[in-house]
């Protein structure tokens, strides 16, 4: 009986429960993500504490990074997401607020992967991705309904999806503050009555070409409160007058 009491006291002292859930989660939050996944074999309560506060996931081709383990190499320079591993990871990280899938060397994200994000990342505020040309209409709307309302920053790197699909996706993101697109079409952000589809937008970054007419119209719509960046030429356009001066060199 005495031995049993001593064992119980020892287990109590060694248990995370003595810290309380919040302090335990705070301590575990300092672990690297690859270390956190070593807790998979433990109880669901401990797993919940481990993953509860993890907010950011970056999937890159850099060696030794955790995200690299979610990729498989298909050519010398190109990688593809491992669907099962990707889904397993996002199921654990239910509170992600930021997800970045490196756009340069990773194959375009397809409908299946976008569905996985939509199903598991309901608190997403920042999403950076290169989307496949042939995303299904259902996947775009599913992602929009699930993740769109909370999104504040969206980066669609090197994405060639149609204007209609981008506009449909953006129609679910009324709180978007920052948008990054490859090729810009003013129809992306205009409502049916040529009003603001994205009323809170403050920053627009474009990788492709810029047209003075569209940018001038944008500034009229947003009352010169929208900053526009050409990421390839490193030019910042604040209003239509400044835009003309920068381009003409006057």
b/e map 176-197, b = 16+ CB within 10 Å: bbbbbbbebeeebbbeeeeeeb
Region 6-14: what's the mean pLDDT?
Answer: 51
Beta bridge partners of 230: 206, 235
Confidence of residue 152 (pLDDT cuts 50, 70, 90): very high
Q: Could you identify the residue written with the tokens 């900053």? A: 227
User: Helices 111-120 and 83-92, interaxial angle, to 10°?
Assistant: 10
Q: pLDDT higher for 13 or 227?
A: 227
What's the token pair of residue 61? 């081709």
Region 161-179: what's the mean pLDDT?
Answer: 89
Q: What percent of the chain has pLDDT over 90?
A: 27
Most confident of 51-60, 175-184, 220-229: 175-184
- Is residue 214's pLDDT more than 70? yes
Confidence of residue 117 (pLDDT cuts 50, 70, 90): very high
- What backbone torsions phi and psi does residue 43 show, to the nearest 5 degrees? -65, 160
Region 184-194: what's the mean pLDDT?
Answer: 71
Q: Following CA atoms 66, 108, 135, 119 in sequence, which dihedral angle do they give, to the nearest 10 degrees?
A: 0
Region 57-80: what's the mean pLDDT?
Answer: 84
Whole-number pLDDT of residue 190: 72
Domain boundaries, the chain: 31-206
Lowest mean pLDDT among 67-71, 72-76, 146-150: 67-71
**Distance set, CA 189 to CA 19, 29, 200 (Å):** 49, 38, 11
Say which CATH topology domain 31-206 has.
3.80.10
């Amino acid at each position: 009986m005495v031995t049993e009491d001593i064992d119980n006291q020892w287990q109590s002292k060694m248990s995370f429960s003595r810290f309380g859930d919040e302090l335990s989660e705070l301590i575990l939050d300092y672990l690297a993500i690859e270390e956190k996944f070593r807790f998979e074999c433990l109880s669901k309560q401990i797993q919940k504490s481990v993953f509860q506060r993890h907010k950011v996931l970056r999937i890159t081709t850099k060696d030794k990074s955790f995200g690299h383990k979610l990729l498989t190499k298909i050519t010398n320079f190109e990688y593809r997401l491992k669907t099962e591993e990707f889904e397993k990871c996002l199921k654990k990280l239910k509170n992600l607020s930021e997800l970045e899938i490196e756009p340069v060397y990773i194959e375009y994200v397809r409908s299946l992967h976008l569905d996985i994000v939509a199903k598991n990342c309901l608190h997403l505020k920042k999403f950076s991705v290169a989307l496949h040309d042939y995303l299904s209409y259902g996947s775009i709307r599913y992602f929009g309904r699930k993740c769109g309302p909370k999104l504040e920053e969206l980066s669609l790197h090197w994405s060639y999806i149609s204007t209609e699909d981008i506009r449909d996706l953006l129609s679910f993101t009324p709180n978007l503050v920052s948008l990054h697109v490859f090729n810009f079409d003013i129809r992306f952000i205009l409502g049916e009555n040529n009003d603001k589809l994205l009323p809170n937008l403050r920053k627009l970054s474009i990788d492709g070409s810029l047209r003075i007419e569209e940018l001038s119209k944008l500034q009229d719509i947003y009352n010169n409160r929208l900053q526009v960046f050409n990421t390839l030429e490193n030019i910042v356009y604040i209003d239509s007058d400044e835009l003309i001066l920068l381009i003409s060199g006057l």
